[in-house]
Structures are given as structure tokens and as C-alpha cells.
């Protein structure tokens, strides 16, 4: 696997660490990573795309080697969107293609909402639902509770957080980083040892603690009696603070391709990270039932918003990877690249 040297740029907002590859004469491509990861998760993708683009893969605030400044959850994805804007400005990147994966897909959608005329195209890989993570109950993103109970940093596995803090690689611990990493992929996929080591070490670069991961919480009056706080990564994805569905109404609509791993268990209509689904399974006690707190239909929500986007004059393509989980760009890289280049007419 190729190695790309870490670079740093001081922007108007913070120092951002990033990887760069490809030909400066080619069109720019921004790769935005997801939660519990960093730009290093894009190394395999960069290897096979660099002949076609001038690629930039930044570490988002709170991740990788980027300056560790706290995250105001009440801004949803906007802190990262503005960070990326400062990155683009500092490097004089013009009209980039953008690909966002998982939470990075949420950042990419927010950036497109904020700067639609500056986005050449938008690629979304198993993205955060336009209505955030947990706490909504139909394709239109209707809230399950007025208090946003069941969302935010309080529902991140505490042992997993501790294992990140202590850099635990114990394979007998189901919440160690190597074992959690496996959950990004379909059961049939085997990650090479080289990639596994790169990705696990990248996970350990994430900042743990107040203002970062997982984020604060506060009591809520409805099941499961805990809601989002105002600081940290986990809370940025609460529907209390994020709603990206306005992308359907943008006056300027860059073309969108949605890459979806059919075996994804993280961003799914039955997500093993969603409070409603965990309640339905009996893992979280006291579940009030399907009518009150059903599993969040994340995929259906994304599809509804993107179908509206298309109805309103935008271009939208859905590309399904039947043998992939949360990371089709890693699990089926040849198909990923072929479909992306075909989408762009390259």
C-alpha cells in the first residue's frame, strides 16, 4: 500500500492536517472521512483515483493530526463545513468534486448547502441521514420525542471509548478498536493486516474527552431518558442540531451519486447503533414500542431527500454494492472507482 506524507496548512480557523495525491493539472477532489477514522482510511481510494484527480483528504477537527479544537455540537455539521471552507480557501482549491463517507457525508451535504455553487459534484458513501442519527421515525424525519431523547453522545459505548483512550487492541474484547473496525465491513470481507493496522492506529488519533468524543449528555423525560448535550462529536449528529434535508431545495444542484453498501449495519433502516432498533431487539430495556420509538429508517430518509432533489431538477444516481457493508470504497474498490468515473463521464 502506498504511503502519502502528512501535510499541514494553517487556515483562518485552525491548523488542518491532510494527505494530497494526484496531478495538479487534474480536477480537485475532496475526500471527507467519517466518525472514528481519519484521512488514512482513504489511502486505498487515493491510490486508485490519483491518476484522475488532484486529491485532498483532510483530517476533520477532532480526528487525525488536525489541531484539536473543541466542537460546539449546537452547530451540527457547520463547524466542520466552515473548517473545510477555510481549508479550501487556504489552498486555493476551486470548484472541487467532494466525496463524504458516513459522518463525512453529513459534512459534505452541509458544505453543499452552504456553498452549492462551489461544488462540482457530490458523492455520498453510506452517509449520515439528512435527519441525523437516531430520534426520528419515518422517511420524512418526524421526531420521536420533543426532547430528542435517545440521541447524542450519551449512547456511545463507554467501554469502546475507554479502549480508544487506552489504545486497546485486545482481540478478546468485543469493543476493542480492531473488533469494532470489523463492523464497518460485510462479514465476507477480509481486511489485509497492513490496512487493519493503518486504520486501527488512525482510530487512536481521535481526541477523547470533553468537547470531543463522545460528547456530553443530559437527562430527558422520555425513553430512553437521556438526550444530547451541547459539546462533542456525538451530539453534532442529533436531530436537535442537524437537518440537512434542505439540500433538496437548493437553487444550484450539483450532481449527486449515492454509494450504498447493502450489508451496512451502521447506516441502515435497522442500524445496530440506533437506539430504536436496540430497543426493539431488547438490548435497551423499557422500549415503548414501534409506534412511539421505531428504528430510524436512515436509508429510506436519504432516498426520500435525494428523490426530491431529483424531482426538483437535480441529478441523482444510487449505486448499490451488494457485497459491501459500511465501506464500499474499501470493500469493492474496482466497482467503486468504475461507477464514480462513469458518473462523472470520465
The residues, ordered by sequence, that sit 6+ positions from 290 with a Cβ below 8 Å of its Cβ are 280
57, 161, 288, 136: CA torsion to nearest 10: -20
What grid cell was written down for 82?
Answer: 466552515
CB 169 within 8 A of CB 309: no
- Show the domain range for 114: 7-145+241-344
pLDDT at 101: 99
246 falls within a domain: yes
pLDDT in tens, 38-53: 999 999 999 999 999 9
Identify whether 178 is part of a domain: no
For 95-113, write each residue's pLDDT tens digit. 999 999 999 999 999 999 9
Contacts of 40 (CB under 8 A, 6+ apart): 19, 64, 198, 199, 201, 202
Q: Which residue has the cell 487512536?
A: 204
User: Which DSSP helix (H) or strand (E) runs through 219?
Assistant: strand 217-219
192 belongs to a structural domain: no
| Residue 175 belongs to some domain of the structure | no
Q: Are 223 and 149 in contact (CB under 8 A)?
A: yes
pLDDT of residue 224: 98
| 188: in domain | no
| pLDDT average, residue stretch 210-233 | 96
pLDDT the model gives residue 272: 95
pLDDT in tens, 134-156: 999 999 999 999 999 999 999 99
Q: Is the pLDDT of residue 346 over 90?
A: no
Instruction: Provide the domain count of the chain.
Output: 1
Report the C-alpha gap between 264 and 126 in whole angstroms: 8
For residue 205, tell me if it sits in a domain: no
331: CATH: 3.40.50.1820
Is 25 part of any domain? yes
What pTM was estimated for this model as a whole? 0.98
92 within domain boundaries: yes
Q: Note the pLDDT tens digit of each residue in 287-343.
A: 999 999 999 999 999 999 999 999 999 999 999 999 999 999 999 999 999 999 999
Amino acid at each position: 500500500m502506498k504511503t502519502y506524507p502528512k501535510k499541514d496548512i494553517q487556515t483562518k480557523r485552525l491548523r488542518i492536517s491532510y494527505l494530497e495525491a494526484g496531478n495538479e493539472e487534474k480536477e480537485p477532489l475532496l475526500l471527507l472521512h467519517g466518525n472514528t477514522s481519519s484521512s488514512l482510511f482513504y489511502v486505498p481510494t487515493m491510490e486508485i483515483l490519483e491518476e484522475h484527480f488532484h486529491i485532498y483528504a483532510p483530517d476533520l477537527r477532532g480526528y487525525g493530526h488536525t489541531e484539536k479544537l473543541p466542537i460546539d455540537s449546537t452547530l451540527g455539521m457547520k463547524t466542520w463545513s466552515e473548517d473545510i471552507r477555510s481549508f479550501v480557501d487556504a489552498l486555493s482549491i476551486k470548484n472541487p468534486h467532494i466525496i463524504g463517507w458516513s459522518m463525512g457525508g453529513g459534512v459534505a451535504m452541509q458544505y453543499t448547502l452552504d456553498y452549492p455553487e462551489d461544488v462540482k459534484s457530490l458523492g455520498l458513501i453510506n452517509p449520515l441521514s439528512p435527519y441525523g442519527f437516531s430520534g426520528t421515525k419515518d422517511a420524512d424525519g418526524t421526531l420521536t420525542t420533543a426532547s430528542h431523547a435517545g440521541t447524542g453522545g450519551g449512547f456511545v459505548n463507554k467501554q469502546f471509548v475507554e479502549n480508544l483512550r487506552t489504545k486497546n487492541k485486545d482481540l478478546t474484547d468485543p469493543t476493542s478498536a480492531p473488533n469494532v473496525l470489523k463492523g464497518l465491513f460485510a462479514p465476507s470481507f477480509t481486511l489485509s493486516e497492513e490496512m487493519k493496522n493503518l486504520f486501527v492506529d488512525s482510530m487512536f488519533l481521535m481526541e477523547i474527552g470533553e468537547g470531543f468524543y463522545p460528547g456530553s449528555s443530559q437527562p430527558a423525560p422520555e425513553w430512553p431518558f437521556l438526550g444530547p448535550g451541547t459539546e462533542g462529536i456525538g451530539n453534532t449528529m442529533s436531530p436537535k442540531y442537524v437537518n440537512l434535508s434542505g439540500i433538496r431545495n437548493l437553487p444550484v444542484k450539483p450532481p449527486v451519486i449515492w454509494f450504498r453498501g447493502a450489508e451496512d449495519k451502521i447506516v441502515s433502516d435497522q442500524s445496530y447503533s440506533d437506539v430504536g432498533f436496540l430497543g426493539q431487539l431488547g438490548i435497551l430495556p423499557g422500549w415503548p414500542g414501534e409506534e412511539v420509538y421505531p428504528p430510524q429508517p436512515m436509508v429510506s430518509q436519504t432516498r426520500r431527500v435525494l428523490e426530491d432533489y431529483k424531482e426538483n431538477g437535480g441529478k441523482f444516481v444510487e449505486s448499490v454494492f451488494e457485497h459491501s457493508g459500511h465501506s464500499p470504497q474499501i470493500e469493492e474498490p474496482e466497482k467503486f472507482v468504475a461507477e464514480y468515473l462513469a458518473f462523472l463521464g470520465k
